[in-house]
Structure 1
Amino acid sequence: MPHAPLQTEFAPGQWVSHPQHPEWGAGQVQSVVGHRVTVNFEHRGKVLINAALVALDIQP
């Protein structure tokens, strides 16, 4: 049975944080391709996140 493509609630320009790495600070979403979200964090730099495995917190 084929699976539907994973839709994420993330969009370029959004601010997020990584729940397991608060020391990385806030991160801005750079791109979203399927479940792959590239985020540029204040204290870590660019990180490729698998949104199917990590529930990023959306910042207000």
Structure 2
Amino acid sequence: MFDKPGNGLLSPGDFVRHPGRPDWGLGQIQSMIGHRITVNFENAGKVVIDGNVIELAPDDASPR
């Protein structure tokens, strides 16, 4: 499904970080439709990520 295999292990509700945008902070996956991953980041708001281009990093931290 994804060119970036780590994204296939993610599910809505999981907490992630964008590896190229640490300033966005912690994000929670809202939905995954095809290769489009909608994430609500604490410092950037809702962002749609192309899961074939960006591999999100899982984060086990609870929201602050």
Instruction: Answer yes or no: same fold by TM over 0.5.
Output: yes
| Structure 1 runs of 4+ with >4 Å offset | none
CA RMSD between the two structures: 0.9
Determine which structure has more spread, i.e. the larger CA radius of gyration: 1
Deviates more, 1:6-15 or 1:27-36: 6-15
Task: Give the TM-score, by structure 1 length.
Answer: 0.86
Unaligned 5+ runs, structure 1:
1-5
**Gaps in structure 2 of 5+ consecutive residues:** 3-7
Paired-residue identity, %: 45
Structure showing greater relative contact order (alpha-carbon pairs closer than 8 Å, 6 or more residues apart):
2
Q: How many residues in Structure 1 have an aligned counterpart in Structure 2?
A: 55
The structure in which a higher percent of residues are helix is 2
